[in-house]
A = this chain, B = another copy of it.
Amino acid sequence: MVRAGKLSLDDLKTQLRDADLRATAPRLAVLRCLHEADTPVSHAELADKLAPEGWDRATVYRNLNDLTDAGLARKRDLGDHVWRFELLRASDTHGDAHPHFVCDECGEVSCLPEGSVEIKTTRNTPVRLKERVHEIQLKGRCERCN
């Protein structure tokens, strides 16, 4: 079982092979970065971060998609027209993920605790909305920009 904070190289390799992916060096680097990140990461950010280690943008790009296809990560647009990738973590209980917040002003992304946003049922709310919602995104001003 892979746990946050204490990931050996072997843990990462195991995680990849369990997902039927080869444990190549650039793929391990991408997976490691996703584990280290505490918010979703864009391809551009990750490609820039891994360029010094010698990994190609296209390789990073394909690996992000591979991890997503394999079900290890999710690819999302948090409402600012940027694709971001985030590891699926055990802390996201039902398979439903925690809400995200993006600052209109500075673009900062933050992860909110599960349950901090509630779907209310009012007279004209569509039927069973709550059960149908799998993802919640908020936009506004962050504490710093407010």
- List the interface of chain A (C-beta within 8 A of B): 76-81, 83, 101, 104, 110, 112-113, 115-122, 124-129, 132-143, 146
Contact A122 B113 (CB under 8 A): yes
| Chain B, Cβ-Cβ closest to A124 | B113
- Complex A-B: 12 CB contacts under 8 Å: A76-B79, A77-B79, A79-B135, A104-B135, A112-B126, A113-B122, A113-B125, A118-B119, A119-B138, A127-B143, A128-B146, A134-B141
Contact B115 A118 (CB under 8 A): no
Partner of A134 from the list B76, B104, B127 (CB cut-off 8 Å) is B104
Partner of A135 from the list B120, B126, B140, B146 (CB cut-off 8 Å) is B140
